[in-house]
Each structure stands twice: as structure tokens, then as C-alpha cells.
Amino acid sequence: MPVKTALVTGATSGIGEATALKLRQLGYTVYGAARRTGRFQKLADHGIHPVAMDVTDDDSMQAGVDRIITETGRVDVLANIAGYGSYGALEDVPLDEARHQFEVNVFGALRLTQLVLPHMRTQHSGTVVNVTSMGGKIYTPLGGWYHGTKFALEALSDCLRLETKPFGIDVVVIEPGGIATEWGAIAADKLEKSSSNGAYADQAAAVASSLRSEANTNRNSPPAVIADAIGKAVTARRPKTRYATGFGARPLIALRRILPDRTFDTVISRAVGLPR
């Protein structure tokens, strides 16, 4: 049996790095893709093949997939993990920034999926793992553009799962809760840049404080929790369609399912400390 091959995006930090290391531990030939090439040494030290890739650059994605096929002849796992959070009031966020977030979080993941699917169909096997968020099921104030990307990726994953089933390809959604990564600080910085002045300033101050709060940071789960879920999914004979894990993911998704909209509005507003 040939050694299985995995491509992991966002592989130089956080969930992506933990996933690349986990899949290597499970015996995969792993290609770790990222823009920040200065962080590649740790991957290489663990036997992971670094790939310079920008998920908003079609040529770099095509080159990366071509390299993997040339070197291994197959792609068994695509883990779409590259992404970021850009917060700000819908009214304030420039459309260029909103579009860029969709390019990274949605179109980059799906374009890379388009590139690997012909190879998976030829093999009649493969797993596409799309890391969304509990934010693909719930919502928070001033996070509309970010949540829009994650809701979109959830829906696209469901459609893709139906389309690829006849070809022996699984599509799995991972829905992280609070994870100890750079995500919160980046989202808070983007929020303050777009909405710290003007009509939404009070809300922005509250949400940025919540994103950076030490209490939340201390409760967040390590990235390895998500990597373990991905490892479980790609090695299962019949993986679940969704894995919700990490701090707060399961209870908050359950609350969203149970509570009326306006009641959930109140719960979330109080949780992030919005001024009344």
C-alpha cells in the first residue's frame, strides 16, 4: 500500500501546525503550506515538506498541487485550515477587506479543493477537511463578515459532501470553539482599526476587550484538540460529517439550536459585554 499524502494549509502556526504534526505522527507524507516561509524550519525538522503557498494566488496553489502529484502521485487528505478573523461593524469594514476575508476563508479553500478533487476521483478515495468554526453556526456582534465566511464554508461543505460521495470522497467539517492561537488578537486589532471611532465605538471597545480577555484566553483549548479531531476523522472508516470541539463549541452550538433568536441575541450580547 502506498503511503498516504496530506496537504495542510496554514501549517506554520496554530491549528494548521498542530494538524501537520499530527498527520505526520499518523504516518502520512505531509505537505505543510503557508505564506510565511520564515516559519518553515520547524515543519522540516519534523519531516514535513514545506510548500510556499498563498491561498489567494491561483498560480501558487496550482504549483503546490502539481508538486505533490509529481513527488507522490496522490493526495489523500486536504485540510483547509488557512484563515483569519476580521471583525468590525458591517457598516464600517471596507468592502476590500470583506472581500479579502472571503478570498482567504472561502474561495481559497474551495479553489484548492477544485485542484485536488480530480486526483481523489482517480483514486476513488480521499478526505477534504474544512475547518470552519462554531462561528459557522452562531454569531457575535461586529463579526458579521467573519461569520459570513464560516457560514458559507459550512454550506459549501454540505453540498460538496453530496457531490463527491459517489467517488468515494469524504467531506468533513471541523467546528472549533475557543482555541489558544493568534486568532483573537488579530480579530481585535482588525476590529479597532475599523470601528474604534464613530457610531460603533462603544460596542467595539467591549468586543475587543472580550477577544483579548485573559479569562477567555486561559479557558481556550490548545490547537492539539483540533488536530486530534482531524486525525480521528481522516483515519475513520466512516467519519462523522462534523466534529465540534474546543472550548465552548458544543454548548454554544446547542444553545443556538434551542433558543429563540432574540433570546440568543441577549445571551451573546451579555457574554461579550455589550453596553446596554
Q: Looking at the annotation, which residues are catalytic?
A: 146
DSSP annotation string for the chain? -PPPEEEEESTTSHHHHHHHHHHHHTT-EEEEEES-GGGHHHHHHTT-EEEE--TT-HHHHHHHHHHHHHHHS---EEEE---------TTTS-HHHHHHHHIIIIIHHHHHHHHHHHHHHHHT-EEEEEE--GGGTS--TT-HHHHHHHHHHHHHHHHHHHHHGGGTEEEEEEEE-BBSSSHHHHHHHHHHHHHSSSTTHHHHHHHHHHHH-HHHHHHSBPTHHHHHHHHHHHH-SS--SEEEESBTHHHHHHHHHHS-HHHHHHHHHHHTT---
- Give me the half-sphere count of Cα atoms (radius 13 Å) on the Cβ side of residue 25: 12
Convert 67-111 into a string of H (helix), E (strand) and C (coil): HHHHHHCCCCEEEECCCCCCCCCCCCCCHHHHHHHHHHHHHHHHH
